[in-house]
Every structure is written in C-alpha cells, then in structure tokens.
Structure 1
Amino acid sequence: MAGLVRDRRPEDLDAVASALVEVHRVDGYPVEGVDDPHAWLNPPGLLHAWVAVVGDHVVGHALTTTAQPGVAAVDAWVAHGGDPATTIVGGRLFVAPAGRGHRLGLLLARTMTDWAAHHCLDLVGDVMTKDSAAIAAYERLGWQRIGTAMHDTGHGTQVPAYLYVSPAPLH
C-alpha cells in the first residue's frame, strides 16, 4: 500500500503526537524530548503542516514556521546573504516505524520544499548530524549545507547539527 502526504487536519493531532512519541522512543528524535507532543507539533509561528498517511493511519509529519529570533539556520542563512523577510523554517519532520519503507520522509521533505518555493520563500532548517537518513533526503532534494551549530536539548547537553537551506525559489 502506497503512502501519501496531505495537509494536516486538527483531527490528526492525536495520531501525530502518538507517532512522535514512538519515533522518540525508537530513534531519539527529537533530541529535546516529547514531554508535551501537542505543543511541540504546534510551535510559535506555525505556517503550514503536513502528515504522511499509509492507508488510514497517520505515520509522519512536517511543518514550516516563521523565522524566530535566535534560530541557528536563520542566522546562518542571513549571514550568507539571505533575506530574513522571506526566510521560513522547516522541520518537525519524522516518519514512525510503521510508515517506513514508503519513502515518506523524502515525500514530506519534498512537499515542504515545494510549498516554500511556490510561496517564494527561502526554507532553512537543521538536522542533527546523527540523523544520516534525514541528511541524505535533504541533500537528494538539493538542499545546501550552510553551516553547523550545537543544538540545545534542553536537558543540559548539546548535540551537533548541520544547517541547511532549500533550493532557491524563483523570486
């Protein structure tokens, strides 16, 4: 059965939160934990969110937000000459074990990338260096590495991350 990506609906939130908790248990993503998955899935500045579905089961997620102050990928992009007024952040992308093997991570990343390009926005994000599948997916889509940073886990530790920008939209 093939999977698909569609806009996230309010009624998807419980299933997405459950998938997130499972991904954290299996993969350690997100590194800051999932004490409040509903809040993590609805960050400040939320612009758009998508879910990956196999059959009638929500198994993955991605979203975009406005550029918030102090986001390392935004700062790196602006330092490379990017315009903060047209920069947004992508992320919170994951696929639960039940949805793997359908290329849904790549499809979610492509959907997010295409959405930003359609709206003439520069999309940036970070990927923990330990997440090789995510790095491969973003790079396959033409995202460019623009720096590195240490990501604060919120638990007194930091983990290394690569900073990326999506392919340039046609402004």
Structure 2
Amino acid sequence: MNPAVVRPFGRDDLPGAAAALIKVHETDGYPVEGVEDPDAWISSDDVLAAWVAEMDGDVVGHVAVMRPHGEAAVALWMEQSGADESHVAVLGRLFVVQAARKHATGRRLTEAAMSYGREHDLRLVLDVMAKDAPAMRLYERLGWHKIGETTHHFGDGQGIPAVCYVAPGA
C-alpha cells in the first residue's frame, strides 16, 4: 500500500469520504454523531476548508477546519487567551480508516489543517473524546496543548467526556 496523498477535498470526494466515515465509526465508535447522514456531516456549512487522504484511489481519511459553533474548546481558548472568535477555528471531522493509520495519514491531515490555520491567522482548537487516547497522542506530538475538559454533547441528550486542545502558536 502506497502512502496516502493528502489533498484539498472536492465535491467528488464526498461518497468516498462518507464510506470511510462509516468504516471508522464501525471500528472505533467515532464519530458519535454524523453517521446517520455522513454527506451532510462532512459537507457542513461550517466547513471553511477540508482535505482528504487518498490511497490507491480510495479516500481513507478526512479533516476540516470549521467556523466556531458554540464548542467548549472555543470558549475555553477565548477565556484563557483573550482571543477574538474571528481568529479561532475548530479542527474537526478528522477520521482515518484503520488500514491507513500506519502511514502517518492522521498526522499529515492534521498538519494540512494547521498550515491553513497559520496562513489565515486562525488559532485552531478542538475537543477529542477522552476515550480516544491515540488521537490525543497525535495532537500532543504535533505540539497541541491541553486547555481543559468538557462533555461533548450529542444526540438526544447524550454526552461523553472530552479533552480540549489548542494548536501551537505561529
């Protein structure tokens, strides 16, 4: 298997990204929402920019930079830093199918989003489910800092413990 090619998301990538999302949900229980309508979740109006990872013609991963939409990580970062919301964005919709994980695919997708953030003067924040230790290790290896904890709310009043991170400064 060749290393994944990371490139900007295009509309033609939606079916492959949706299929990859469903695979990741089946193996990891992530995401906790969005799998009932993956096309809408991936192509949310809040997406500022997105990338896919492709291996051997198949979409195997995805990440997006998103407008803030009431996330706890955004509020925590603004409170701690004094940042204005216009300079904060959310790294989200990051998923990589199991077969592509040993090829630094998640790292490369995250780095693409981080580059976008730096180029657009946006400090990226995120929350990650506390159960997703490999994702937290990835963010920490890339210099992200833990800024707090929260409960990620989803579905009909459900919640799961989450950890909030901020990307390293420029």
What displacement does 1:33 show? 4.8
Pairs within 5 Å for 1:2-151: 2-68=3-69, 70-80=70-80, 81-151=82-152
Quote the sequence identity (%).
Answer: 44
Q: Would the aligned equivalents of 1:150 and 1:161 in 2 still touch at CA under 8 Å?
A: yes
Distance 1:67 1:32 in 2: 17
Distance 2:114 2:141 in 1: 12
- Following superposition, which runs of at least 4 residues in structure 1 exceed 2 angstroms of deviation? none
| Residue 156 of structure 1: aligned partner | 157
TM-score using structure 1 length: 0.94
Distance 1:34 1:2 in 2: 26
Moved more, 22-31 or 91-100: 91-100
Q: Would the aligned equivalents of 2:60 and 2:97 in 1 still touch at CA under 8 Å?
A: yes
Distance 1:33 1:111 in 2: 23
Secondary structure of the residue that 1:123 maps to in structure 2? strand
What displacement does 1:35 show? 0.4
Where structure 1 has 5 or more consecutive residues not aligned to the other structure, the ranges are none
Where structure 2 has 5 or more consecutive residues not aligned to the other structure, the ranges are none
Q: Number of aligned pairs?
A: 168
Distance 1:74 1:60 in 2: 24
Q: Would the aligned equivalents of 2:128 and 2:163 in 1 still touch at CA under 8 Å?
A: yes
Q: Would the aligned equivalents of 1:24 and 1:33 in 2 still touch at CA under 8 Å?
A: no
